[in-house]
């Protein structure tokens, strides 16, 4: 018989993969360097704080406007093209924000095709200033609005017919019913999606780098690789962790102040049929967002990639692809295995303490990759120094290896693999466990003989989502990769840093095509309607 406490032997070490880097970075707040802080306070922090505040406010407003309006139109209204846009508006998730960013930079730069067309055809000599604060905010809002769209649409669909009928019986029109009833009731879903979008904004490195817009993630990278100051990078990372936890605490406090009644889904609300100019406006709005967020960027990437293929494609790209596939495959297998151990430990021993430990292990997705890269590298460097002193070694053993990258990937994406597996285990009733116990199958044997065959879909989903997330991940790969170990994402970063948009499009196209897989899974499982 498996001992009762055995789940702790797995859950604790796995949770430490995430907790230790966070604790290492956060500890730098407790031991500040006065000279370093004086320099940061005078020359670095003012710009970073202002830029970050503007970015969060602008992206937050943008994704809320886009996500909520599109969610209401596709969930509550009927207009030409609604069924298509219901799932098509999720497709921008396939494009990393840094890919969307460099496409629009290439199009709207002074020598770009769109800017040239505006000058030659329309006589517009000064196209929109894309290299600006407004430019990076608009691009990130277009890339991240699906987070709010997905959660807000689910909230609107879950409200049912009776809610709007009750509002109309009290004299409310459908428009006022939206503002006074439907929108406030959907607030938890909207806030959940908004929080995800803001977390991604704080964690973003590639987009702000392309736009030369200084934030904490770019400052951490510059402190480490330009100033060669790991302590400065750690101090900046500790401040960024503070932002992340503050956002999470504020969201929890806001949600706790009000209670929301969940309505049944026995009767879906009848959609509002739009006609005339209203239908045209709805179609124009959804179509414009889809065009700007996916069609134009994806189409331009395809054109640039086709033009660059014959000139730029060589054996190096096979190495880039191989490195990306190897890292993504190894990372996905490792993350899924560890996430399965966490989820099953929680099922075997569902105490509050173990559940809290499991939640800590799945905390990393809320943390920027740059922070986790610093948090993993510091203890690895300490361990290397200890090994060198203890065994009189000639060089580093751990730093600069794939081990550091994989550990950082596990800390960052544990939640991605944990979510589908936890949901899959929750769908397996306890009666199945009791039947297995009666037949003599207990403990971890029950996992291999009973639960794993029933978790095939959940395992595939966890592997697919983690694989693509690792393939798109930029800061961890860029900051912890071994020398010469370039991936497709690193190639995109290097080419965009030099303004080589066409050459960046070839690896970006591969990343975008891979990104369509999780979007397909999301589309398949997100909408439970039978009348799409």
Q: How many domains are contained in the chain?
A: 2
pLDDT digits (tens, 9 = 90+) for 61-88: 999 999 999 999 998 889 999 999 999 9
228 is a domain residue: no
3 pLDDT higher than 50: no
C-alpha 113 chain-centroid distance: 31
Q: Is the dihedral of CA 435, 436, 438, 443 positive or negative?
A: negative
Tell me, what's the pLDDT at 123? 78
Q: What is the mean pLDDT of the chain?
A: 84
97 is a domain residue: yes
530 pLDDT higher than 50: no
Pair (284, 369) in one structural domain: no
What CA–CA distance (Å, rounded) separates 425 from 44? Answer: 47
Q: Which of 407-411, 474-478, 497-501 has the lowest mean pLDDT?
A: 497-501
381 pLDDT higher than 60: yes
Look up the CATH number of the domain holding residue 329.
1.10.3720.10
Residue 156: partners with Cβ closer than 8 Å, 6 or more residues away:
71, 72, 75, 76, 182, 186
pLDDT digits (tens, 9 = 90+) for 333-352: 999 999 999 988 888 888 88
Pair (464, 493) in one structural domain: no
Pair (415, 450) in one structural domain: yes
Range of the domain at 94: 47-101+133-208+277-312+487-525
Pair (148, 24) in one structural domain: no
4 is a domain residue: yes
| Mean pLDDT value across residues 274-282 | 89
| Mean pLDDT value across residues 404-416 | 92
| Mean pLDDT value across residues 373-401 | 87
For residue 169, how many other CB atoms are within 10 A of its CB? Answer: 8
Instruction: Tokens for 153, please give them.
Output: 């649409």
**Where is 59: in which H helix or E strand?**
helix 45-76
Pair (325, 412) in one structural domain: yes
Tell me, what's the pLDDT at 180? 67
Tell me, what's the pLDDT at 450? 83
What CA–CA distance (Å, rounded) separates 364 from 19? Answer: 8
Look up the CATH number of the domain holding residue 165.
1.10.3720
Phi, psi dihedrals of residue 350, rounded to the nearest 5°: -80, 60
Residue 376 near residue 19, CB atoms below 8 Å: no
Pair (18, 86) in one structural domain: no
443: left (phi over 0), alpha (psi -120 to 50) or beta: left
């Amino acid at each position: 018989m498996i001992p009762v406490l055995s789940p702790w032997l797995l859950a604790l070490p796995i949770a430490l993969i995430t907790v230790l880097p966070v604790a290492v970075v956060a500890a730098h707040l407790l031991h500040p360097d006065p000279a370093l802080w004086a320099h940061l306070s005078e020359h670095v922090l003012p710009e970073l704080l202002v830029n970050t505040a503007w970015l969060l406010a602008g992206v937050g407003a943008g994704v809320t406007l886009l996500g909520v309006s599109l969610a209401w139109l596709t969930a509550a209204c009927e207009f030409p093209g609604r069924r298509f846009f219901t799932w098509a508006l999720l497709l921008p998730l396939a494009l990393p924000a840094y890919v969307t960013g460099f496409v629009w930079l290439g199009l709207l730069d002074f020598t770009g095709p769109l800017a040239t067309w505006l000058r030659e055809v329309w006589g517009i000599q000064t196209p929109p200033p894309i290299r600006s604060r407004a430019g990076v905010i608009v691009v990130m809002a277009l890339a991240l609005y699906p987070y709010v769209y997905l959660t807000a649409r689910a909230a609107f669909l879950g409200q049912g017919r009776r809610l709007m009928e009750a509002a109309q019986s009290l004299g409310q029109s459908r428009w006022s019913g939206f503002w006074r009833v439907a929108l406030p009731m959907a607030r938890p879903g909207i806030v959940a999606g908004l929080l995800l979008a803001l977390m991604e904004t704080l964690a973003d490195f590639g987009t702000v780098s392309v736009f030369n817009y200084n934030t904490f993630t770019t400052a951490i990278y510059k402190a480490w690789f330009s100033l060669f100051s790991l302590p400065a990078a750690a101090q900046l990372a500790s401040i960024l962790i503070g932002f992340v936890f503050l956002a999470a605490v504020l969201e929890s406090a806001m949600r706790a102040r009000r209670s929301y009644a969940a309505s049944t889904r026995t009767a879906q609300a009848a959609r509002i049929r739009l006609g005339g100019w209203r239908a045209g406006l709805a179609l124009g709005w959804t179509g414009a967002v889809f065009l700007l967020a996916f069609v134009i960027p994806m189409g331009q990437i395809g054109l640039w990639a086709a033009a660059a293929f014959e000139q730029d494609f060589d054996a190096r790209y096979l190495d880039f692809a191989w490195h990306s596939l190897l890292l993504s495959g190894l990372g996905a297998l490792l993350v899924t295995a560890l996430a399965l151990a966490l989820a099953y430990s929680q099922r075997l021993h569902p105490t509050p303490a173990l559940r809290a430990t499991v939640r800590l292990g799945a905390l990393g997705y809320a943390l920027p990759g740059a922070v986790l890269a610093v948090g993993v590298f510091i203890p690895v460097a300490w361990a290397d120094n200890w090994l060198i002193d203890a065994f009189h070694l000639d060089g580093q053993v751990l730093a600069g290896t794939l081990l550091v990258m994989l550990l950082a990937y596990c800390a960052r994406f544990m939640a991605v693999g944990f979510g589908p597996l936890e949901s899959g285990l929750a769908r397996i009733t306890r009666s199945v466990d009791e039947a297995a116990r009666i037949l003599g199958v207990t403990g971890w044997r029950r996992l291999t003989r009973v639960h794993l065959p029933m978790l095939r879909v959940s395992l595939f989903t966890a592997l697919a989502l983690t694989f693509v997330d690792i393939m798109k991940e930029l800061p961890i790969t860029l900051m912890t990769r071994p020398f010469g170990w370039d991936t497709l994402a690193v190639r995109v970063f290097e080419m965009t840093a030099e303004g080589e948009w066409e050459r960046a499009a070839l690896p970006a196209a591969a990343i975008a095509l891979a990104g369509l897989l999780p979007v397909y899974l999301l589309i398949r499982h997100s909408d439970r309607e039978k009348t799409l």
